Structure 1
Amino acid sequence: MTDAISSQEFMLIDWIRRLGGKRMPPALLSRLREEADGMPLLEGLSADERDRLLRLAGDLLLAKTITGLEDMAVDDAMRCRLALQMALPGMNLGMRAYENWREAVLYPAPFVVRNRWQDGMGLAHEAEQVLIGQAHYQGPLVFSWPDVNESPLLDGWNVVIHEVAHQFDMLDGPANGAPPLHKGMNRQTWSQAWNQAYRQFCRTVDHGVEGWLDPYASENPAEFFAVLSEAFFEIPHLVARDFPDLYGLLKLFYRQDPAARLPRVAEDALLPPPPPDGMGHG
């Protein structure tokens, strides 16, 4: 076992050093391994899957800038913890899925943004909102570090996966819950299944029915896709039970089957959703 691990580590170090002429210190690769070992989110990955995940996380660390704001220092452990979570959704998609952004920004706490929007009558509104994550079209990913740090638990909440899902959604334009699909996937099948499930979920929220899925998913189709994506990677058995058609489509899109590798999480063990005026995603 020791010899196999050492050989695999040597191959990864050699590969990372050759990538684009850049070099990653072996200590950083060791930190990636250490962080991965402590993440419940990554339980059950095969040796090949773990290898792909580490390679992609290394790619992201080399290609993307991770910046701390408000005088927050960002160390290697933080960078690796963020990169591994960013890499998981794209583990079988590759770096092309991450091509429309260059920077991740970390705040030391939830942050305040001022949003402007127009209602159905054409009236302009403006208000402040406290967020734990935000994705910008062709722009940076923004996170609250405490929430990134706590996201690898299997509790159905993962701000990193949520915002990465938005970025995947925005590969062909502003987020709308309809990301560009792979060859062989049918757009009409995707649209029908997601639109039907979204309308049904909105009806349950409107009637005050509480369940395991964050009611924030009813905000719009883009949030529905992002919230289901984080649930897909953390509590996949519940997604497969209550949204079987969407689970099948997410398997095709992410080219992963988390329910085949992760333990079941009891519904009553999940944290309750936040109040309507609580902190949210962007």
Structure 2
Amino acid sequence: MFFGWFKNRRRRRWLAEREPATWEKWLLANVWHYQHLDSKQQRKMREFVKVCFHEKDWVGGRDFSVTDEMRVTIAGQAALLTLGFGEGFYFDRLHTIIVYPSSYQNEPTSREHLLIPSSSDPVFGGAARSGEAWTGGPIVLSWDRLLAEAQNPRSRTNLVLHEFAHHMDGLDGNADGAPPLTSYEIEKEWFRVISDEYHELRRSSKQGTYTLLDKYGAKNQAEFFAVATECFFTRPHHLHDDSLELFGMLETLFGQDPRTWIPQSANSPS
């Protein structure tokens, strides 16, 4: 109880402080979603960034120097997942975020702690990858890829959203494509819709036909959820038209409809 009180007191102090002016400049330059948010949503994103900036342990892989701009950029993207939540949600079980300058390789150790790596290559054996989420943290990200995606409204992928979705998925101890849900009825509907959509993506992938969702989501249901989350926040209008049920389940989970603030023209070639 004492530690919870201290944490909340510390957060209130951070939230009361005015963030540096450079933070909003970085969000505008590096997180394409930010310009489309209304003032209330922008404030909520900046508040999320404040807490994560100070509270998370930011570590550079390969002696990489993690700058303030990197922290703000990563936290700003992660904040998108929380904009529809009523109370402050700061991924309390996530303590460490590791940032590499580019793709990296890990040795095959502690396999049981790995949730899902973001790579189409084998999990271990020196395969290069760009991100991963571990049970209870950390989340590992490659800076060059995440920045390129965060700045580009036409990118169909978003590494930060993908890995933070995996973290949410694993909050109940299992990375199975079913994050903690609010009721049994919603849970039943979730499993039905996700299972149907996942198997449809698998069929389309095997047939080589076009799919809105990245075909990497056909690997398993955990990857399907992460890929669907990316699409929900990068191509909401397309996803709504392509799969109303899947869109509806994600809208229920995240408590928001990104179509209300992301214009259809945002994803169109300039």
With normalisation by structure 1, the TM-score equals: 0.79
Structure that is richer in helix per residue = 2
Give, as a single letter, the amino acid of the residue that structure 2 aligns with 1:101. L
Aligned equivalent of 1:143: 141
State the shift of 1:265 in Å.
5.6
> Is the Cα contact below 8 Å between 1:43 and 1:262 reproduced in 2?
no
Q: Could you tell which deviates more after superposition, 128-137 or 216-225?
A: 128-137
Q: How many residue pairs are counted as aligned between the two chains?
A: 246
Aligned equivalent of 1:47: 39
How far apart in 2 are the matches of 1:72 and 1:173? Answer: 31
Q: How does 1:19-34 map to 2 (within 5 A)?
A: 19=11, 21=13, 26=18, 28-34=19-25
Aligned equivalent of 1:78: 70
Structure that is richer in strand per residue = 1
Aligned equivalent of 2:103: 110
State the shift of 1:97 in Å.
5.7
Aligned equivalent of 2:225: 225
State the shift of 1:128 in Å.
3.1
How far apart in 2 are the matches of 1:128 and 1:69? Answer: 16
Aligned equivalent of 2:244: 244
How far apart in 2 are the matches of 1:156 and 1:85? Answer: 14
Give, as a single letter, the amino acid of the residue that structure 2 aligns with 1:29. P
Pick the aligned partner of 1:57 from 49, 52, 58: 49
How far apart in 2 are the matches of 1:19 and 1:99? Answer: 12
Aligned equivalent of 2:3: none
State the shift of 1:114 in Å.
4.5
State the shift of 1:179 in Å.
0.4
State the shift of 1:25 in Å.
7.2
How far apart in 2 are the matches of 1:185 and 1:32? Answer: 41
State the shift of 1:87 in Å.
1.4
> Is the Cα contact below 8 Å between 2:132 and 2:139 reproduced in 1?
yes
In structure 2, runs of 5+ residues without a counterpart are 1-7, 113-122
User: 1:260 and 1:114, CA in 2 relative to 1: closer, same or farther beyond 3 A?
Assistant: same
How far apart in 1 are the matches of 2:166 and 2:99? Answer: 17
In structure 1, runs of 5+ residues without a counterpart are 1-15, 118-124, 270-282
Give, as a single letter, the amino acid of the residue that structure 2 aligns with 1:177. G
How far apart in 2 are the matches of 1:169 and 1:204? Answer: 24
Aligned equivalent of 1:66: 58
- Deviations along 1:14-56, whole A, 9 cap, x unmatched? xx99636558975x53232112222322232111111111111
The CA RMSD over aligned residues, in Å, is 2.6
How far apart in 1 are the matches of 2:267 and 2:43? Answer: 31
> Is the Cα contact below 8 Å between 1:59 and 1:95 reproduced in 2?
no
How far apart in 2 are the matches of 1:75 and 1:267? Answer: 29
Q: Percent identity?
A: 28
State the shift of 1:183 in Å.
5.0
Give, as a single letter, the amino acid of the residue that structure 1 aligns with 2:83. M
How far apart in 2 are the matches of 1:85 and 1:142? Answer: 14
> Is the Cα contact below 8 Å between 1:110 and 1:131 reproduced in 2?
yes
How far apart in 1 are the matches of 2:69 and 2:131? Answer: 20
State the shift of 1:238 in Å.
1.4
User: 1:262 and 1:22, CA in 2 relative to 1: closer, same or farther beyond 3 A?
Assistant: closer
Aligned equivalent of 1:206: 206
* 1:100 matched to 2:93: yes
> Is the Cα contact below 8 Å between 2:15 and 2:47 reproduced in 1?
no
